[in-house]
Chains A and B, each alone.
Chain A
């Protein structure tokens, strides 16, 4: 879209051209305004644009690389249609500009704000405008500032107008000095041209050391309070110009004559207590007909502009004050990293002087650990990306690390990054506090993790792995490894590693595994010898270190060896590798030793468990072997024996009659031996079955059992004319079959070992015993004591130890039958019931066997 022409276009163009400003060189007085505008509004582009017939031409240009553009694409062509200001927050969203080549292409305008500049006759000749490549909004107070700046620019334009007018007057007066008529017509022209009440213009003639007014414009009414006609031919001193100012006028006048160009100076007047500022200008224009020198002059009331300038200066001062006195660290950095500007807080915090900063790149003041991250952020900012909150570690000149947090963004001019701007805050203290807290938490967590891993472990591997990992995480060390004792007590690399990078430590791990043969010459070997924590802050100082080449190759700088000590005994060594020189303080050393001790306990416990396990295994093996033996004995040995007996029987039955008496005797002895052998095996089998088989505990009425046993033995009792008296017997928790065997063996013995010719009398009695269970607990166990007394041959109590052992016999086989297994079986049965058996006797006086059995078996035994 092309902006429509204003209704007064012809008059407007005439006013513009009358300014004689188009295509003149840039001037500092305009550039100051655009530069200030660019800084105040933080925009990359600020312009003073004048709208000519077919073009807009920039009298002042900040941030644009062209002196003019076509009027067709001009934003300002629209602005001059407005009363004062046009604001386009986002050009892409404005139908008038969305497809404008200045929007879609360079300089990619998104935001525009322009204030109208008017010439003396009120024609809108141009604008002061702001352009940004980001959409943005502008506040009412910003518009106010923009208008003020426009007013300043307008004044400068009018100054320009004045200068031109002055020049015209100068020429006119010079040309017409010889022709009064011409002067008159020129005067009319000048008067027509210059009717600005703020600018007094005139010509004077030097008379002695005073000026006499030749001609002056209507502004004298404002300045002197007199009309132009009144003032004419009056001297300056008569008009009240003070002598010192008059001397300045005369000095400037003679200087302009001498130098051939206009001279200016500023002064002030106090008008009823109001200080007015003026800008004065005087130029030599030749001598009059009377030979006196004549001058043109102008006096410009610049009070308003001065005030505006002061206001802007104050505003700038406020910004500067804020900038310089804030505790935030502000920096501006060029795209190449050079430091352009920093505020005082920045300099104070980091300790650099201006002259030092000039030599530095921003990356010189960033700590190495943070540098890559900052370079990335910097590149993002230069690419116009949003970086968000950034955190970085800076290096102060004295080497202190300072953690800062803040933002970084970039200023662009015509799409090119010009500088980055960052505001940071020193968060070192906060970060230190956080770090301390985190470390404390981490420490608690570490100790807890280690404790849990140690307590729940059956082998040291898992807790070691946890410790290596956790300690590395806590300290930031790169790798950790453990040495553990071998069975022979020597220390060996365990192969347990924690590393932050498997590839990196491959060679070191291989060399460590090879340390086996010369462990004592190694650093961990020295830990074993010294029983002390060893630390190498810098491994470079220890090239004697066995693994030095591998360690240096993977960039390790520090080494720490921690003994695993319990009660002065060493149970292993932990070693750690750090990528930076280590400096373990007392508390860290203490912590490492504590963890070492905890791990040592795990190793010690495992060693004890292994020893116990190995004993248990040995026992189990010998037990199993014994069982296998008894199985062989009971089955495989019995098999041929059965056949010996069976064929013996057949022999005796079918051929007994044909044998002689001696042959039959041999056969009988053979048969007898085979029978005894079989009994022996049966008893052995019974004993081993007691070992092997679980007892089944239930309620057993001992009186009932005793009666059944007596019934079984009836024949033998009757044969010897004996008797068995059964007293009161309790019901107890026991294995019924075993109880039967127990009583059968004991009653059988009592009947068997009777004195010759004395019929056996056996008494079976019991009593309950309440007994403290050896103080182990307060629970009272109840027992019953069963006694079996006989009147038999008795035994010498010195054999008491022996009689309960297997195969022990006190009597010759010819006298009393038996395998010597009976009492061994009894003892085994009683022991299986957690009871005890003993006996008392005097040879020839009978014997008493006492059995103590608990009334109840413990719950787990009953269950099993």
Chain B
């Protein structure tokens, strides 16, 4: 088959013609295909929720909204998980308001929280508190950052709106709303 016939086949977009062209590759077409192929790794976007700055700021915001700026680790996991997307926010709000039965597992883990907490503690934004050092609490510096984040209503607006919908948040409130026994 001549190359002319091949291109006609392509124009007709005929599958059989394509197969025919592929199976009877002449030397000429073979030569045409001998082009050096280079693979380059294109930079890819990182999701904002994986960015350290975003994570630390949301952590500060969530802790700041808790009563006395302090929360238990499991509750922190839950709320950090919930701020992730509109779906998770809706889900938690449904549990919170009692629209959805608590039959599913309401203990949620935010995989990156451990690292975020380590960075925030190293930077002096967060400290442990409570009798057994079981709770996490914002330091004065953390509170300053929290207040600055709160100043600009457009900053982290969806997260803020979500947390505002929960009303007053505290460890006790989470236990009550999600029907948990106190550990």
Are the chains A and B members of one assembly? no
Q: B residues touching A (Cβ–Cβ < 8 Å)? A: none
Give chain A's interface residues, CB within 8 Å of chain B.
none
